Amino acid sequence: ISRTKVVDLLKRRDFGAMVNVKGWVRTRRGSKQVNFIALNDGSTINNVQIVVDLSNFDEEILKLITTGACISVNGELTESIGSGQAAEIQAREIEVLGACDNTYPLQKKGHTMEFLREIAHLRPRTNTFGAVFRIRHNMAIAIHKFFHERGFFYFHTPIITASDCEGAGQMFQVTTKNLYDLKKDENGSIIYDDDFFGKQASLTVSGQLEGELAATALGAIYTFGPTFRAENSNTPRHLAEFWMIEPEVAFNDIIDNMDLAEDFIKYCVRWALDNCYDDVKFLNDMFDKGLIERLQGVLKETFVRLPYTEGIKILEEAVAKGHKFEFPVYWGVDLASEHERFLVEEHFKRPVILTDYPKEIKAFYMKQNEDGKTVRAMDVLFPKIGEIIGGSEREADYDKLMTRIQELNIPMKDMWWYLDTRKFGSCPHSGFGLGFERLLLFVTGMTNIRDVIPFPRTPRNAEF
């Protein structure tokens, strides 16, 4: 009999059929006569119940059916009364594919997230991380679907690059030091070759600049790939390696950009509710009773759109009324997540798109406003997280862009290719970057960004 996945098995109603299922034992309980095995194969949050009449099986086999063991079961599909599912399996034959002894770290339930992070290589086997990673997959599909349906092209920007898009000095440098193909001199001594690319190369912090080249050729593109930032501090919303989605669209102004961001997030949230309801419901019931309500809420709400200057006024008024923030708030400051969350959670009780930030706290490429002080930036702020999107209309005017580059002392020799977009047929265009893991924090209700990526990379953590 060929294998049926648990997700498909639980939908079947052809009771009496012989089936085969393979998976990992979650629990085993029962009496001296009958045992019930909860078996999971990762295809769904739900387990299939295997009913085992002990008198039909060898003691040797039964001994090996422990939590974590991998087994293959042939049996009869029957209607279930007690398992919480419509179907279960009456076991006829059981083969132990991989035994699991009592040093298995996941034998008991209810581990802390901190402990599970230490066994990141095994945590996908828990219900929680199974749910999170199935949702992560589904969100990736939703992202491609959203853009593809709207005629955007998926464009691959380089991971190794020489440009520091954000100018924030958070780049990891690429070197050939200590690799196996080291060059040696005539005496056999190693020559360290740091000059593979002929200039200092780094891991990308954003695909935006290259994305702009593409948008000014293909019209509408998006990138979706790994992004690297040497984040110094340990926060629950920063990783050293994360995935970013960056659409870039020719002829879009800042309003179009905000519309796109809002539509995009809502599409992804709707996708999660429509396609991963069991997993979302599990996380809702386990960790965050308000999750489903929050997700449904976002679909109904129109995001608030507000200039930074107005946002600062609201925050200053809150301080005047006695609200305590850890970090000071005044016009010109880059908002901390506590400020962003105050606007969203306390003041508006809806997602907020904050626009027109002071140019000093934003990157060089943003379109400058008439006031000479602000730029056409937009950050999308979400409950519990703060910023999930940063974007802007780009400066399309060659002279203005040049002036800004000079003011900030950005080495021109690094920017000539980028400036060519403004030199040859410049066009208005806009785009944004969404941190994939920040979106996942929202959709899964997890509270630490390390728990929505399989292998979190943070300071002093690159083992597995």
- 431 scored as a contact of Mg ion (CB under 5 A): no
Candidates 229, 339, 394, 450: give the one binding ligand ATP (CB under 6 A): 229
C-alpha torsion sign, points 187, 192, 196, 200: negative
User: Which lies closer to ligand ATP via its Cβ, residue 49 or residue 368?
Assistant: 368
How many Å apart are CA 145 and CA 138, to the nearest integer? Answer: 10
Residue-level length of the chain: 464
Query: Which of the choices ligand ATP, Mg ion, none does residue 75 contact, using the CB cut-off of 5 to 8 A by kind?
Result: none
- 387 scored as a contact of ligand ATP (CB under 6 A): yes
Q: CB of 361: closest distance to ligand ATP in angstroms?
A: 9
- 262 scored as a contact of ligand ATP (CB under 6 A): no
CA 321 from centre of chain: 37
How many Å apart are CA 43 and CA 131, to the nearest integer? Answer: 10
Query: Which of the choices Mg ion, ligand ATP, none does residue 438 contact, using the CB cut-off of 5 to 8 A by kind?
Result: ligand ATP
* Footprint on residues 264-303 left by ligand ATP (CB under 6 A): none
Candidates 23, 390, 431, 456: give the one binding ligand ATP (CB under 6 A): 390
Q: Is 344 exposed, middle or buried (0-12, 13-18, 19+ CB in 10 A)?
A: buried
Beta strands 201-203; 160-161: pairing state: antiparallel
Give the number of C-alpha atoms closer than 13 A to the C-alpha of residue 433, restricted to the C-beta side. 19
Candidates 390, 431, 435, 445: give the one binding Mg ion (CB under 5 A): 390
Size of the site for ligand ATP (CB under 6 A): 18
How many Å apart are CA 192 and CA 187, to the nearest integer? Answer: 14
User: Which lies closer to ligand ATP via its Cβ, residue 192 or residue 327?
Assistant: 327
Q: CB of 232: closest distance to ligand ATP in angstroms?
A: 10
Candidates 25, 87, 94, 244: give the one binding ligand ATP (CB under 6 A): 244
Own/partner long-range contacts of 186-193 (Cβ < 8 Å, ≥24 apart): none
Query: Which of the choices Mg ion, ligand ATP, none does residue 224 contact, using the CB cut-off of 5 to 8 A by kind?
Result: none
- 311 scored as a contact of ligand ATP (CB under 6 A): no
Closest to 156 measured CA to CA, from 229, 207, 197: 207
- 231 scored as a contact of ligand ATP (CB under 6 A): yes
Q: What character string, x for contact with ligand ATP (CB under 6 A) and - otherwise, covers 336-375?
A: ----------------------------------------
Q: What character string, x for contact with ligand ATP (CB under 6 A) and - otherwise, covers 163-202?
A: ---x------------------------------------
Candidates 25, 215, 239, 405: give the one binding ligand ATP (CB under 6 A): 239
Candidates 164, 356, 437, 451: give the one binding ligand ATP (CB under 6 A): 437
C-alpha torsion sign, points 161, 162, 163, 168: positive
C-alpha torsion sign, points 205, 210, 214, 220: positive
Helix runs in 321-447, H state only: 337-341, 398-407, 416-423, 436-444
DSSP of 335-383, one letter per residue?
A: PPHHHHHIIIIIIISS-EEEEEEEGGGS-TTBPBPTTSSEEEEEEEEET
User: How many Cβ atoms from other residues are within 10 Å of residue 16's Cβ?
Assistant: 8
How many Å apart are CA 177 and CA 189, to the nearest integer? Answer: 14
Q: CB of 458: closest distance to ligand ATP in angstroms?
A: 9
- Could you tell me how many helices (H) and strands (E) the chain has, helices first? 13, 18
Q: CB of 263: closest distance to ligand ATP in angstroms?
A: 17
User: Which lies closer to ligand ATP via its Cβ, residue 279 or residue 340?
Assistant: 340
Query: Which of the choices ligand ATP, Mg ion, none does residue 50 contact, using the CB cut-off of 5 to 8 A by kind?
Result: none
**CA distance to 41, 272, 282, per residue, from 137 (Å):** 16, 10, 17
Question: Which spans of this chain sit near ligand ATP (rule: CB under 6 A)?
Answer: 166, 229, 231, 237-239, 242, 244, 387-390, 433-435, 437-438, 449
Question: Which spans of this chain sit near Mg ion (rule: CB under 5 A)?
Answer: 387, 390
